[in-house]
Chains A and B, each alone.
Chain A
Amino acid sequence: MSIGDYIRNSQVWKSIFRHPAPRDRRNRVVVMLTNVFLHLHPVSVRKSGIELSYTWCMGGITFFLFLVETVTGVLLMFYYRPTLEHAYNDILSLRDVTTLGILRELHRWGAHAMVITIWLHMYRVFLTGSYKPPREFNWGVGVILLVLTLLLSFTGYLLPWDQLAIWAITVGSNMARATPFLGNEGPGAKALVIGGVELIHSGSDARFLLLGARFVGEATLLRFYVLHCVALPLAAALLIAVHFWRVRKDGGISGAL
């Protein structure tokens, strides 16, 4: 008996994989049904549906990059403290001292790449008309995921706490104070007055909600950190689950009807 067969016949192996290796048709079907990760897929697909020149693989790569961001992000959290005192220096030591400082590069370039691949995924879905019935709802879920991806990238942009970070966030979040009715420089905000007291001012408007202060400061850093590491990834994970589920329920990978 070869060592390979010995391992595959052991009780441990059999307890993990409940069927022989996927070498024949039956076991290639069974492997898809008994593995929680693989069972995201159907057992069989149309040949044209998985052609690379048709799908561009961009949705899958976006999901893969989401996983890369999660893993590198969790590891980076060990080295980073979101306070004015530590944030910049922690990034400095990631650059200069920490052995696995390359995690930061992986995380940043992965994030840029994810923004591009999600656009290209949408581009493909549009150009193949794959948002058409019965997939209208899932397209909408995808659009929300796009927004979440951009917000994830945007909130992460602040964390290094260097000049690039705070001014990019300042430019971006300045828009919020122009929100109609809800920003203190937005049209209509001046109209929201009760008994001579302005409801919307720089300490109560949409920008304040976003920043936790009147300017980008420590409160903003904490807010963006929590959004970036907890709230937005959870929301994205939830919607990714819905997105994948609906891909299956709405008829699988699209193809000519």
Chain B
Amino acid sequence: MDHSHGVPGAVQVGIGLLYLVATLMNIGFALYQNQVTKDKLQGMIWNFVAAVFGIHAVAYLAQSGWPIFPWLEQFINWIMGPTVYFVLACLAFGKFIIFRKHFTTPHVAWAWLMFALWFSGQAMTNPNFKEIITKPDNVPIVLLVFSVGFLTWLAMRKAVINDERIARGEPPMEKLGEDKVLVWPDLVYTELIAMIICTVILIVWAIVLKAPLEQPASSAKIPNPSKAPWYFLGLQEMLVYYDPWMAGVVLPTFIVKGLIALPYIDFNLKGNGYYTFKERAFAVTTFLFGFIVLWCVLIVLGTFLRGPNWNFFGPFELWDPHKNVPLNNINLSDYFWLMGFGEAIEGKHWLIREAPGLMVVFVYLVVLPPIIAKTVMRTFFIRMGFVRFMLLVTLIQFMACLPIKMVLRWVFNLKYIVFIPEYFFNI
């Protein structure tokens, strides 16, 4: 990395514009706090934040902005790895779910948004970060991150308010607008306006960003890394932990089947047609974990943090194709026979060699569900019946097998639980 020549002028102007928008947003939010909620302290705070962003905006627009602090850059690169990244995402998710009331309070959510905008601007001063973020095909992911963030906030905010109303014995907010309105004009015009806005956004997007076109296709030159389209990068990330037949076929099939089965498994009739968390805590938490952590977070990981040879690279790290990452992963059969009994695994029939792994899989898929039915999810089992319950448990098991394998890999360097290359059957 080279900081001697500073940040290019065009980039500075872009960052300056971002900070200018943030300044205006904060002025608006301060006004809202002063005028609508009459919270003078909040008004003062956000006017102050607006001033800070304003100074940033002026500095960068005048092309005399500063690059991101090197210590911050190095610290983030140093601490980041697939383990830290994923664990942090899980912790953040858990914290958000538990303290949802706090996090969805407008000024708290606003503070996080402002921090994200400030950090985005600072990060863009790094050439490596800028290069990967501004690849035209990666722009949708930035859109995805901000829209999922905003809509999750919106939905949770409404859920928190509705939950409080329900606790007080009042109906959810959605029930208040029971009176009917005519579709012409109320809905038809909304649709028209939405179409116009979409058209404008799309045309501006098309003018500003050219669709990528690389060198003509060549079966001789293999790009490193070779990446699937961005929306499949969560699946490609699973290839780190599972073989293609699991990561590329079985698990995606289970995602689709699970989604279709969802309305038939979810026996809870509450929470139909309004936002709520408390009335459907299990369903919402599971779905959010699947969509946000296992899908979106892994897409971001696969797109922005995986470089040549699918090695992990910090957000500010140069994608060096010669980065050396030791691979010393060990199969369960090695652990069992070699380390447990001191016996060589060569020469053993695969059935005997892999017996421990097959046992583990058998216990996980066949023995565990009835135990769960008798213990932790007893009420679920009684209320759902055998078929529904088994479907639910199987789906959750397949969903959980990704984080389980991740943890096993990180803690024990475990490569495969079952390793039968003779039949391409590796788990």
Contact = CB atoms under 8 A, between A and B. Distances in A.
A and B bind: yes
B10 to A, nearest CB: 21
B223 interface: yes
A45 interface: yes
Nearest to B277: A127
A254 B216 CA distance: 49
B213 interface: yes
Contacts of B217: 88, 161-163, 165-166
B273 A129 contact: yes
A120 B385 CA distance: 32
Given A68-B202, A126-B287, A129-B271, A44 B182 contact: yes
Given A47-B178, A127-B284, A168-B227, A180 B245 contact: yes
B100 to A, nearest CB: 13
B209 A95 contact: no
Contacts of A60: 191, 194
A215 B228 CA distance: 16
Given A116-B144, A185-B424, A43 B155 contact: no
A57 B158 contact: no
Interface in A43-64: 43-54, 56-57, 60-61, 64
B184 A32 contact: yes
Contacts of B229: 153-154, 157, 168, 172
A246 interface: no
B187 A143 contact: no
A102 B194 contact: no
A162 B211 CA distance: 12
Interface stretch (B104-112, B260-268, B369-377): B260-268
B244 to A, nearest CB: 4
A44 B183 contact: yes
Counting contact residues on chain B (CB < 8 A from A), the size range is 35 or more
B272 A50 contact: no
Q: Identify the interface centre among B137, B191, B212, B274: most chain A CB within 10 Å of its CB.
A: B274
Interface in B188-205: 188, 190-191, 194-195, 198-199, 202-203, 205
Contact of B158 (A53, A65, A174): A53
B411 interface: no
Contact of B222 (A126, A135, A139, A167): A167
A20 B203 CA distance: 35
B424 A178 contact: yes
A171 B226 contact: yes
B401 to A, nearest CB: 16
Contacts of B247: 175
A95 B213 contact: yes
B318 interface: no
A154 B264 CA distance: 30
A21 B38 CA distance: 45
Given A60-B191, A129-B271, A129-B280, A44 B180 contact: yes
A214 B199 CA distance: 41
A46 B158 CA distance: 18
A23 to B, nearest CB: 10
A183 B424 CA distance: 10
6 contacts: A54-B275, A92-B213, A105-B207, A140-B260, A168-B227, A191-B423
Interface of A: 22, 25, 28-29, 31-32, 38, 41-54, 56-57, 60-61, 64-65, 68, 88, 91-92, 95, 102, 104-106, 108-110, 112-113, 115-116, 119-120, 122-124, 126-133, 135-136, 139-140, 143-144, 146-147, 150, 153-154, 157, 160-168, 170-172, 174-180, 183, 185-191, 215-216, 254-257
